[in-house]
Every structure is written in structure tokens, then in C-alpha cells.
Chain A
Amino acid sequence: GAVVSQHPSWVICKSGTSVKIECRSLDFQATTMFWYRQFPKQSLMLMATSNEGSKATYEQGVEKDKFLINHASLTLSTLTVTSAHPEDSSFYICSARGGPLFSPTGEQYFGPGTRLTVT
């Protein structure tokens, strides 16, 4: 199956700093990537969708100026948490889909996640 990687797998940063998380599709071209956030004991919440070469679309309630998403190539998307605060501490998971959106063959594959702790 397709492989999606994330880097780093965990990161600790101080309040007020910014953190960048990378998501890569290793053996397929991902026209669309998704970013999810998961708090302890809870399910995954979709934050935003990014398409290669265009601006990301954010779910309701997600601050686009705080969570900057860049999808510069067909294999790489980045999420930057700007001016991080302790309440941003969470498990961030990316997902990549090959083929165009609305494609019946567009299976979605998930990365291993990045645990962010803001002190």
C-alpha cells in the first residue's frame, strides 16, 4: 500500500514559537492532502484540505493564520503552527490522496502522526 511519512514524529517547543510539520507521500503523487488534529482520548478532527499549488481550505473554526499550510509539490505538504500555545498541544496527522478529488479510486492514506507539546 501507499506510504505517507511525517516529520518530526514528535516535537517540544516553547510557547510563542512556530513549529513546522512535514507530510510526504513516498510512493505516489498526492494531489490532495488533509490535516487532522487529535486530542487525547478523542477522534480525529479535520482541520484543512490542501491541493498542490493552491491555497488550503480550512474547516469551520480553524484559524488559517495560525495553522499555515503549504502544498508546494505533489509529494509534500507542510503545516506550520505559528505562535504556538499550550492549548495547541495535540497529535497532528496528515493524510494524502492520489488522484483528483471526487475520484472514486482516490484512496486516502494516513501518516503516523506528529505529537506536538508546547510548554
Chain B
Amino acid sequence: TQLLEQSPQFLSIQEGENLTVYCNSSSVFSSLQWYRQEPGEGPVLLVTVVTGGEVKKLKRLTFQFGDARKDSSLHITAAQPGDTGLYLCAGRRRDDKIIFGKGTRLHILP
């Protein structure tokens, strides 16, 4: 069974601080996605990383895929209250289905 472990599960920091969320697995994924989900809504895709070592930037968000394609990180610079939400990493399995980590609930204090 391919599992994705996300850490931390909860994070509450002050506006302006930096933070990193980690997504780890013992299995290799063909690609890894990061989603953001608001309460009562479906997840919205932020980024997909495919190549080991790949780094993608989305404004203040930086996503990195591990060299071995087993882990990923999401780094937010100068966090804003608008960044508050649930961040989910998801990996595409060998059977091409996407499974999710447990998520990181982020709260940015103004």
C-alpha cells in the first residue's frame, strides 16, 4: 500500500513568517500534486511535479519534488492570512490513481 505522510498536521504562525510543509512516502510516485481545499469545497490543484529534483514556484509558494520521487515539500515565504487553509499532497500511484496525504491545516495569524 502506498501511503503519503504529511507533516505537520497543524501549523499556526504569524503573518510574515516562512513555513515548510513536508510530504513523505516510502514509495515512488510518477508525479506528485499539491492541492488547497477550502471548507465545504473540493480540492483545487496548485501544482504538479513530475521530475525528481524538480522545483516549481507559484508566487510566494515553492514546491520541490525529491530526487527519488518519494517526497515533496511546500515552502511559503512571508505567509499572508489569505494562505490559511488545508493543504493536501497527493501522489499518482503505479495504477495511475491519485491518493492523498492527511493534509496540513495552516492558520496564518494577522
Contact = CB atoms under 8 A, between A and B. Distances in A.
A112 B41 contact: yes
Contacts, number: 46
B98 A42 contact: no
Contacts of A107: 45, 48
A45 B98 CA distance: 10
Contact of A112 (B42, B100, B102, B103): B42
A43 B88 contact: yes
A108 interface: yes
B42 A113 contact: yes
B99 A113 contact: no
Of the listed residues A4, A36, A110, the one surrounded by the most CB atoms of chain B closer than 10 A to its CB is A110
Given A44-B88, A102-B96, A115-B40, A109 B102 contact: no
A43 B44 CA distance: 14
A46 interface: yes
A101 interface: yes
What class of interface size applies to chain B in its complex with A? 10 to 19
A36 B42 CA distance: 10
Interface in A1-15: 4, 6
A43 B100 contact: yes
Contacts of A108: 45, 98
15 contacts: A4-B42, A36-B100, A43-B102, A44-B43, A91-B40, A95-B42, A106-B96, A107-B48, A108-B45, A110-B43, A111-B42, A112-B41, A113-B40, A113-B41, A115-B40
